[in-house]
């Protein structure tokens, strides 16, 4: 055999050997990738990462391994590490949908909603009918207060899936955030009409909250009671019921639910002051004072101080009440109710000119209130008559 033939034979053998090695590596990468994603599915994250890192030893830019490592880090809640893997994948594979999805989801979890939106919009260029992504982008636009774009995307989802629960819930929250309570109620009612008593408890409390905001308290009671049937200790249902009964003027029932919350959260100062208000409105000043002081033992609370000042006022301790109220004015100088209570104390002390001075002062500070104006006019009229 000539040296030329020998060289050709050796070259052919080398090529065959290299091809065989490449095939072996490709098969091993495929097996490692399959195993890695299986481990990922089973939440065996260390084993999954071990397989993906082995792939990167062969192919440092392998998109399956980089996305897999990103997904694993995201599952662990290490969003910054996940971002690095997804970004590295996108440097070499800019249209990889899995990397785009994971990257956007990481930004969302870190509350970087504008970054998330940019990535999800990139995703939609390649797949604009992915309902999951569309609802997530709509959610992100809702978070950044872009009502129009958020609404548009939610409605696009509903065009594809008429009763998509995520779109209906999202539209409910979107309208609620923008104080369109009747419209929010419309979307949540669609879910309720479809699922009835099987609907998620959060839909029931959200519907109840719409009625609270619209001051249709009796209708709100119905939904909060249904929520409470599902979860007897649910904070939002208990709070909603208490607040609805407060709005209906039924202080006794309101107090029942404030106290049920306090059984579980005895140091919740907001609820302590609400319960104090209920006792005060029922005329039980002793218990009211006890609850207000309990709230203040936790930390400073404007409403607890106000409650105690009003108790002092009811006991006829007008100067003590004025002193407490004036301390609150320093904390909240735009609160017209404080000035009205101070003015009323001065009236009870027989000092109309001082009461009028307080009301004129608050108007000079730019606080516009019909109630302040009307009270000042009544005092002026009584002085001149």
User: Domain extents for the chain?
Assistant: 24-127, 316-385
Q: Which CATH superfamily is domain 24-127 in?
A: Tetratricopeptide repeat domain (1.25.40.10)
Q: Per 3-state DSSP, what percentage of the chain is helix, strand, and coil (rounded to 5)?
A: 80, 0, 20
Per-residue pLDDT of the chain (385 residues), as tens digits, is 555 555 555 666 666 677 777 788 889 999 999 999 999 999 999 999 999 999 999 999 999 999 999 999 999 999 999 999 999 999 999 999 999 999 999 999 999 999 999 999 999 998 899 999 999 999 999 999 999 999 999 999 999 999 999 999 999 999 999 999 999 999 999 999 988 878 999 999 999 999 999 999 999 999 999 999 999 999 999 999 999 999 999 999 999 999 999 999 999 999 999 999 999 999 999 999 999 999 999 999 999 999 999 999 999 999 999 999 999 998 888 889 999 999 999 999 999 999 999 998 888 878 888 998 999 889 988 876 5
What is the CA 350 to chain-centroid distance, rounded?
A: 49
Which residue's structure tokens are 């009236």?
A: 347
| Global confidence as pTM | 0.83
Domain topology for 316-385: 1.25.40
Q: Are 117 and 137 in contact (CB under 8 A)?
A: yes
For 168, half-sphere exposure in the C-beta direction (CA atoms, 13 angstrom radius) is: 23
Q: Are 359 and 343 in contact (CB under 8 A)?
A: yes
């Amino acid at each position: 055999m000539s040296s030329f033939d020998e060289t050709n034979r050796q070259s052919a053998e080398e090529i065959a050997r290299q091809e065989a090695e490449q095939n072996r590596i490709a098969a091993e990468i495929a097996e490692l990738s399959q195993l890695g994603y299986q481990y990922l599915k089973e939440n065996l994250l260390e084993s999954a990462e071990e397989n993906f890192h082995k792939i990167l030893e062969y192919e440092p830019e392998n998109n399956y391994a980089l996305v897999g490592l990103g997904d694993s880090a995201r599952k662990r809640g290490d969003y910054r590490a996940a971002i690095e893997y997804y970004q590295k994948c996108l440097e070499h594979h800019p249209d990889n949908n899995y990397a785009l999805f994971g990257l956007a989801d990481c930004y969302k979890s870190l509350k970087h909603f504008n970054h998330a939106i940019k990535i999800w919009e990139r995703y939609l260029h390649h797949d604009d009918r992915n309902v999951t992504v569309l609802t997530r982008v709509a959610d992100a636009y809702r978070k950044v207060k872009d009502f129009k774009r958020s609404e548009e995307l939610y409605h696009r989802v509903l065009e594809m899936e008429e009763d998509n629960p995520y779109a209906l819930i999202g539209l409910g929250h979107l309208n609620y955030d923008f104080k369109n309570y009747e419209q929010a109620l419309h979307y949540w009612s669609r879910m309720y009409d479809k699922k009835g008593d099987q609907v998620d408890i959060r839909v029931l409390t959200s519907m109840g909250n719409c009625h609270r905001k619209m001051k249709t308290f009796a209708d709100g009671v119905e939904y909060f009671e249904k929520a409470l049937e599902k979860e007897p200790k649910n904070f939002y249902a208990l709070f909603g019921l208490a607040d609805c009964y407060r709005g209906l003027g039924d202080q006794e029932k309101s107090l029942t639910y404030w106290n049920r919350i306090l059984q579980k959260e005895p140091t919740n100062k907001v609820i302590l002051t609400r319960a104090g208000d209920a006792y005060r409105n029922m005329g039980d000043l002793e218990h009211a004072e006890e609850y207000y002081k309990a709230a203040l033992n936790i930390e400073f609370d404007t409403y607890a101080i106000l409650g105690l000042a009003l108790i002092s006022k009811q006991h006829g301790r007008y100067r003590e009440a004025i002193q407490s109220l004036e301390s609150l004015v320093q904390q909240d100088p735009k609160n017209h109710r404080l000035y009205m209570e101070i003015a009323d104390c001065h009236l009870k002390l027989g000092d109309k000119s001082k009461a009028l001075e307080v009301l004129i002062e608050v108007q000079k500070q730019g606080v516009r209130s019909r109630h302040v104006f009307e009270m000042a006019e009544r005092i002026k009229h009584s002085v001149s008559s």
